Chains A and B, each alone.
Chain A
Amino acid sequence: MSDERHNPGRDPGRERFEDLKEAYALGALSEEERREVEEYLGTHPELQAEVDDLESVANLLALAPREYEPSPQLRRDLMNRISSSPDATPAADPSSRQGGLWRLFGPGGLAAAAVLALVAIGMFTWNASLQEENQALQGELQGQRTYALQGTGAAQGVRGEVVRLGDERAVLVAEDLPSPPEGETYEAWILRDDVPEPAGLFEPNETGSAAAPIEGSIEGADAVAVTVEPSGGSSSPTSDPLITADI
């Protein structure tokens, strides 16, 4: 990728930079070469933007691998490490600065929010004593797995998870979700082999939060997706997904 405005032959340093910049962006230089590029960049800051751009493309490779779920033990180990770290400083109280579900349930508590949402909206019934209900909730929490939401377009800023409860049930929990346009609603889909199955309608509340049961089993599904559909929903998507969660 040569700069058409530049004649590298007049500047050996620039010629060398042009020769190495892609490998630099990919982290594929030796230490000596890397220092060479960085020293040249230090004296030619006008080239930094070009390198930043190459790095942004190279860094996309990080998103390409098939996704795997780390073990819950990794999170526990990590939190234990930083809690005992001498570098740890007194923690600020995030509850005073966080909003929505995070304020109510704390980080990692979206699963609990999802379970409580199930209870609150009466989609599932626990016909049992209070003690049995508590046991059921604990069981749900122990069996849960979460899949992060990724938003695009109008839902770029959304965050949340699809929380899998046991073998089949799942709930989509989202925050910072914009209201759908007038006369339209959000519809969830379960994707299997690129075939979408309707999985329920929902709308966020006035603060942009939503907790929606996924109607249908996500066992063996590839992803859960959300589109904007006409009020009443559609039998197949009529728009591109705004939110997805790879299962």
Chain B
Amino acid sequence: MADEDLISLTDGGDTQAFAALYDRHGRVAYSLAYRMMGERQASEDLVQEAFLKVWRAAGNYRVEKASVRTWILSIVNNRGIDVLRSSASRRRTQDRVEAQTYTSQPSEAFGETWRNSQGEQVREALRGLPPEQLKVLELAYFSGYTHKEIAELLDVPLGTVKGRMRLGLKKIREYFDSRGMAVPG
């Protein structure tokens, strides 16, 4: 059964369809949550909160906007950013330290060398980015910093941060385009 059908059933209150969605996407959602929160309990709380939103708001899903997986991950990411921004967490402080060393160390987040999966394609695309562009994308997407906060954190002009975001996204897009692959929805 397609994800879209499971969402539709979930919207009708079908707990088994919801469980099937969790079984398909819970792992990648948890992995994203773990990357953002940095520890198990907070990550599980975030995933639980996100999937409760999926349960309550399945009717808001729009197939023309994104795949179900992307929709679920967006919920995890948006909520994770809210949590990170609402707390002066240790994780963000840690990022502040890590941010100072980005020019000399590759990102550990993308250090795995798995092959032939969508995740690997993305990791490969990210490995091709200059470290300073990757760092800006990471700080924004995973750590919830605004572009102005990133500029302060890295001690660079705001225009530089915007430029790195622009070029970073453009290069990821080009990675997929150059291989004739559609950007996964």
Question: How many residues on chain B are close to A (CB under 8 Å)?
Answer: 78
Question: Given A74-B26, A79-B15: A62 and B48 within 8 A (CB)?
Answer: no
**B99: CB under 8 A from chain A?**
no
Question: Across the interface, which residues of B come within 8 angstroms of A61, CB to CB?
Answer: 122, 126, 137-138, 141-142
**A246: CB under 8 A from chain B?**
yes
Bin the interface of chain A by size.
35 or more
Q: By the criterion CB–CB under 8 Å, are B122 and A64 in contact?
A: yes
Q: Once the chains are docked, how many angstroms separate the CA of A91 from the CA of B181?
A: 39
Question: Given A57-B169, A74-B26: A246 and B119 within 8 A (CB)?
Answer: yes
Q: In whole Å, how far is B75's beta carbon from the nearest beta carbon of chain A? A: 10
Q: Once the chains are docked, how many angstroms separate the CA of A78 from the CA of B172?
A: 35
Question: Given A61-B142, A82-B55: A92 and B9 within 8 A (CB)?
Answer: yes
**A231: CB under 8 A from chain B?**
no
Most buried by B among A59, A61, A77: A61
Question: Across the interface, which residues of B come within 8 angstroms of A90, CB to CB?
Answer: 13
Question: Across the interface, which residues of B come within 8 angstroms of A83, CB to CB?
Answer: 15
Binary interface encoding of chain B residues 15-51 relative to chain A, with 1 for a CB under 8 A from any of its CBs, else 0: 1111110111011101110110000100110011001
Q: Once the chains are docked, how many angstroms separate the CA of A53 from the CA of B185?
A: 10
Question: Across the interface, which residues of B come within 8 angstroms of A89, CB to CB?
Answer: 12-13
Q: By the criterion CB–CB under 8 Å, are A70 and B44 in contact?
A: yes
Binary interface encoding of chain A residues 124-135 relative to chain B, with 1 for a CB under 8 A from any of its CBs, else 0: 000000000000
Question: Given A66-B112, A225-B115: A60 and B12 within 8 A (CB)?
Answer: no
